[in-house]
Amino acid sequence: MTDTLPDNTATQAPTPKIDPALGLNLVPTRELQARRQPVTICIPAHNEAETITEVVTESRRALDLLSAEGEVIVVASACADDTAALAGQAGARVVECGIGKGVALKAGLAAAKDGIIAMVDGDFRYHGPEPIAATLLRPILAGTADATIADLYWRPLYPQLNYYGFFAPLAGRLYPEMLAKVGTTPWSGQRAASSELWRIDLPDDFTVETVINLAWNDASARVRPVLADDWTNPQRPKPDLLGAELEFLLTHAVGTGRLRAEQEDSVHSWFGQVHDRMAAYHPGDDDPTQFETTLLRFSIQTLNSLLQG
């Protein structure tokens, strides 16, 4: 006797067909409109006398390359050195404010004109073929994006552990549509957007980039990562930042129905395990690429197991 599969074709409903052009507005010519708006490049800086002249000069060069009407603003955040004076000498308008990354961003946004606003950190040295501000602004001026975030090649490994261990697994679970928008360096301070997208209730601290990412995602903005070149800036680890970002993500996810309140304890348990795994990395002993791959797999599997359990 030969085993055969039952013929259920007579009882199965036909699979509905999907229109391959569903939702597509196919047009024969370009319909996107280039933007002709004022451009402001804001540079938050806290005691950046060593680099501020270069950053301001490159930002002004970006405006020239783009033939854009605009200005460069340096936000001197509780500076105790010559940052403000050097920025003014280099051609920037200087605004002074208190301490805090979010405080500086809010002061810069308040001083900027409506139009398009780019943010470039005061300690960011870029080695690409054009200033980083020009790379950020081009897609917005062309009309192909509402906002851009620099997708940077990071060195050393430290920030990448945050991405592979923390952000990609958690955001990929809670905000899968956001991953492609923010790229591999979602915490980058180098970003630009039309001024209406900057009208956000920002925190005073370094969670500001996470808040911006979520706000832009909520607004369904056309956010695009832009590939960037080599760069340098001081590595200043912020050991409490991941925990603060976790709490903000959880609050937002529960508030928007992406996570149930009773699942928060499971995510906290996951965070503790992943944090311990990240802390186990030893430069010189561990292969960075292999460690990142193992960390990503562990983080995803652990999160899935805890949330499904």
Q: What is the pLDDT of residue 22?
A: 64
Average the pLDDT over 218-225 and give the result: 96
Q: What's domain 39-152+188-228's architecture?
A: Alpha-Beta Complex (3.90)
Q: What is the pLDDT of residue 233?
A: 82
Query: What distance lies between CA 45 and its chain's CA centroid?
Result: 19
Q: What is the pLDDT of residue 284?
A: 86
Q: Is 141 or 160 the better-scoring residue by pLDDT?
A: 141
Q: Are 243 and 162 in contact (CB under 8 A)?
A: no
What residues have CB less than 8 Å from 233, skipping those under 6 apart? 121, 123, 124, 125
Tell me the pTM. 0.90
Q: Are 251 and 144 in contact (CB under 8 A)?
A: no
User: What residue spans define the domains of the chain?
Assistant: 39-152+188-228, 241-308
